[in-house]
Structure 1
Amino acid sequence: MANTRAAWARSHAKLDSDTIADAIRPLVEADPSIKVKSIITEVQSRFNYTVSYRKAWLTKQKSVVKVFGDWKVSYQTLPVWLKAMTAKMPRSRVQIKTLPVYRESEEVQGVRVLHRVFWSFYPCIVAFRHCKPLVQVDGTHLYRKYKGALLVAIAQDGNQNIVPVAFAIVEGETADAWEFFLTNLRRYVVTIDGVGIISDRHNSIDAAIARSNGYSRTEQEYNKNYQRLQERGEAYMHWCDEIGVDRWVLAFDGGHRWGHMMTNLVECINSVMKGARNLPVTAIVRFTFYRLNELFTRKSAEAHEHVRNGFTYSEFATKRVEESFRRAGSIVVNRFDRRNEVFEVREMPDGSIYTINLAQRHCDCGHFQVERLPCRHVLACCANQRLDWQVYVHDVYKMSKICKVYRGEFVPMGDPSTWAPYEGAKVIANWTLRRTIKGRPKSTRYLNEMYSRDMRGSRRCTTCGKEGHSRSRCPQHAGPSSTGGQS
């Protein structure tokens, strides 16, 4: 048995981490967040050899460096890449904020420390103009060698698809960093007034509040939910009173949130960006570039295919209107003015009464003004007076509008040798953000007596199979020359 194990180990003597790193490179390039267990499975499948967890972890780190570059070099190439990108897509927006470098109280010329960087690709800027006037913003921590945060702004098209519109890498989620991001977002992307912004600034709210009370679309619903909130405890009630109902109740938000209460859209993109958080800075920017190019290319083709198939509105809007039509048959309609603007309807058989003002795009049920789609009460009024219900569908849901969201095209970057020379200052990392922990993160598990060496038993060599020594000190590992070198 020992001879078999020794022969097995010698047959894989050259299967070091560099060899494995080259073998798994396509996997890491496709998914930087690939799990170590998946790498172990891949090595087992390709080489019929089970690599240790530590070796697989080290292999992944080497492969990441080979695919996405070294951290130190990445900071230097960031302004080079961004300059080339803006040269190929001139109306893209980039803002880099750097800090001076000092040596013995004297500023070092030609070298700057990267502090913050904001970027938004021109196709994304164009896309936002045809999305819902709403953005969700959030931040996610960066991992690996340097601390920091990736800030993201997300919009949504008329078919419920998320559209990332702006990014920033900052030192952390500080007030100054958020001011930097939101100022540039407002200056370059969200250039119109009346746009709603949703963030997680109140993420400490109790789960019961976030789950139910915020979705009060009418004042009556709000009063009922507020009473329930008061029953839970006065602390919840006072906390919400300090926020203001316009910030957490749909019935009082003026329709700016379009039915969204939480940062669920940006959380979706954060899951997509999870793998990129382990990468050097330039690789993160490149990651957003190529992922968005893929998104715009695919969604543009889908939108034009729907237009060719005769769809006037998005799938989301079509399903909502069809559902409302099915529920509009048992509604009694009463008109209250000659201009066909004000109606009162009664739902049968429960007898609920709602007032509708078509001119103001308002219905007591709240759905009409929140989603900008005709609710069942509006559809009943239109059917009763033979009005065109399509007039009351917001333009954002039209397929022609969705096609405009993705009409912007990304431009290939080409080989770096074809780029114009970069003549700016050399950019380096902020050494104060460097993490001190090296290698694989240490486990924080409490180790009891079961993990002690006495309980685990004596060490066993993986080459010869004998106890009392490791593979590095095995006599067989050194070979015959280890005993015959002296005469």
Structure 2
Amino acid sequence: MTHFRNKELKKVLINAAYSKSHREFPHYYGRLRGENVAITNWLEEMPLSQWAQHADEGRRFGHMTTNISECINAVMKDFRNFPITALVKSSYFRLGELFARKGCEALAQLQVGAEFSQTLIKAIEFNSKHVNTMNFYQFDRSRTNFTIEELAAVSGSRRQNYQVLLDEEKCDCGYFQALHIPCRHVLAACSHARPDWKQFVHPVYRMESVFNVYRSEF
């Protein structure tokens, strides 16, 4: 917005940056180049992995720099006009309270036998809703290579076929690689080939990992 002041193309750029699929990204990037080549020239001065989610190899787990900035803004907005000493003190006590509360929540989840974080459970429940609206095609004896055909359009995506490679932990939609959790296509493949989808979840989503963040005293 500082350089080009174009709200419409800003939305296109955001869609390009947040695209998790190597197939989806060129659609938005091509539109940018077609409408204002100066924008794509400006973008090409930066490494693709620094701003395009599909190219970051899952290092951010789906987080983008803008999201992190907004989180900090939300924490600081109530006392941003304070003198510096009051600012530091308020930040310290708010973080201390947050640390204790999140630690108690994580411990309570562990004590009731929760294996994964609620974030993961909600994602799996959401993705599982679409499993019965897909066809499966298996292409190898080891039952790791599938093409998943979506029979009904899912919000936010075009109806199409997706290749799933379970042994490489890859799916054409890009969500599997970016978030390190099973996407709807991987869940569909697992329901057909019968491997446990839990083996494809990154350890960071396990409650032991979550609790370890808050294990020490603040």
Aligned 8 A contact 1:293 1:409 in 2: no
User: In the aligned structure 2, how far is the partner of 1:259 from the partner of 1:300?
Assistant: 23
User: Normalising to structure 2: TM-score of the pair?
Assistant: 0.84
Residue number in structure 2 paired with 1:217: 20
Matched, 1:382 2:185: no
Residue number in structure 2 paired with 1:299: 102
User: In the aligned structure 2, how far is the partner of 1:250 from the partner of 1:274?
Assistant: 28
Aligned 8 A contact 1:258 1:370 in 2: yes
**What's the Cα RMSD here?**
2.3
Residue number in structure 2 paired with 1:357: 165
1:405-442 Cα offsets, whole Å, 9 max, x none, are 111213xxxxxxxxxxxxxxxxxxxxxxxxxxxxxxxx
2:215 is aligned with what amino acid? R
User: In the aligned structure 1, how far is the partner of 2:151 from the partner of 2:78?
Assistant: 53
User: In the aligned structure 1, how far is the partner of 2:2 from the partner of 2:132?
Assistant: 42
SS in 2 for 1:293: helix
Residue number in structure 2 paired with 1:256: 59
Structure with higher Rg: it is: 1
User: In the aligned structure 2, how far is the partner of 1:382 from the partner of 1:286?
Assistant: 50
User: In the aligned structure 2, how far is the partner of 1:408 from the partner of 1:339?
Assistant: 44
Residue number in structure 1 paired with 2:68: 265
Aligned 8 A contact 1:373 1:394 in 2: yes
Matched, 1:366 2:169: no
Matched, 1:327 2:130: yes
**Per-residue deviation, 1:347:** 1.8
Closer, same or farther in 2 for the Cα pair 1:261/1:272, shift >3 Å?
Answer: closer
1:419-473 Cα offsets, whole Å, 9 max, x none, are xxxxxxxxxxxxxxxxxxxxxxxxxxxxxxxxxxxxxxxxxxxxxxxxxxxxxxx
SS in 2 for 1:343: strand
**Per-residue deviation, 1:216:** 1.8
Greater mean alpha carbon deviation, residues 220-229 or residues 343-352: 343-352
**Overall identity of the aligned pairs, in %:** 37
User: In the aligned structure 2, how far is the partner of 1:227 from the partner of 1:277?
Assistant: 40
* 2:151 counterpart (344, 348, 367): 348
**Per-residue deviation, 1:245:** 2.4
Counting only pairs closer than 5 Å after superposition, residues 27-66 of structure 1 correspond to structure 2 as none
SS in 2 for 1:273: helix
Residue number in structure 2 paired with 1:286: 89
Closer, same or farther in 2 for the Cα pair 1:277/1:326, shift >3 Å?
Answer: closer
**Per-residue deviation, 1:391:** 0.6
User: In the aligned structure 2, how far is the partner of 1:254 from the partner of 1:223?
Assistant: 17
Matched, 1:398 2:206: yes
SS in 1 for 2:168: coil
User: In the aligned structure 1, how far is the partner of 2:78 from the partner of 2:136?
Assistant: 55
User: In the aligned structure 1, how far is the partner of 2:210 from the partner of 2:64?
Assistant: 23
2:103 is aligned with what amino acid? S
1:359 is aligned with what amino acid? D
User: In the aligned structure 2, how far is the partner of 1:259 from the partner of 1:302?
Assistant: 23
Counting only pairs closer than 5 Å after superposition, residues 440-459 of structure 1 correspond to structure 2 as none
**Per-residue deviation, 1:276:** 4.2
1:317-349 Cα offsets, whole Å, 9 max, x none, are 111101111101122222233333222222225
**Per-residue deviation, 1:246:** 2.1
Counting only pairs closer than 5 Å after superposition, residues 29-428 of structure 1 correspond to structure 2 as 207-349=10-152, 352-410=160-218
SS in 2 for 1:356: strand
Aligned 8 A contact 1:250 1:259 in 2: yes
User: Normalising to structure 1: TM-score of the pair?
Assistant: 0.40
SS in 1 for 2:45: helix
User: In the aligned structure 2, how far is the partner of 1:376 from the partner of 1:270?
Assistant: 33
Aligned length: 209
User: In the aligned structure 1, how far is the partner of 2:148 from the partner of 2:103?
Assistant: 41
Contiguous gaps of at least 5 residues in structure 1: 1-201, 411-487
Structure number with the higher helix fraction is 2
**Per-residue deviation, 1:247:** 2.2
**Per-residue deviation, 1:268:** 2.5
Aligned 8 A contact 2:181 2:202 in 1: yes
**Per-residue deviation, 1:372:** 0.8
User: In the aligned structure 1, how far is the partner of 2:107 from the partner of 2:42?
Assistant: 47
**Per-residue deviation, 1:270:** 2.6
SS in 1 for 2:89: helix
SS in 2 for 1:333: strand
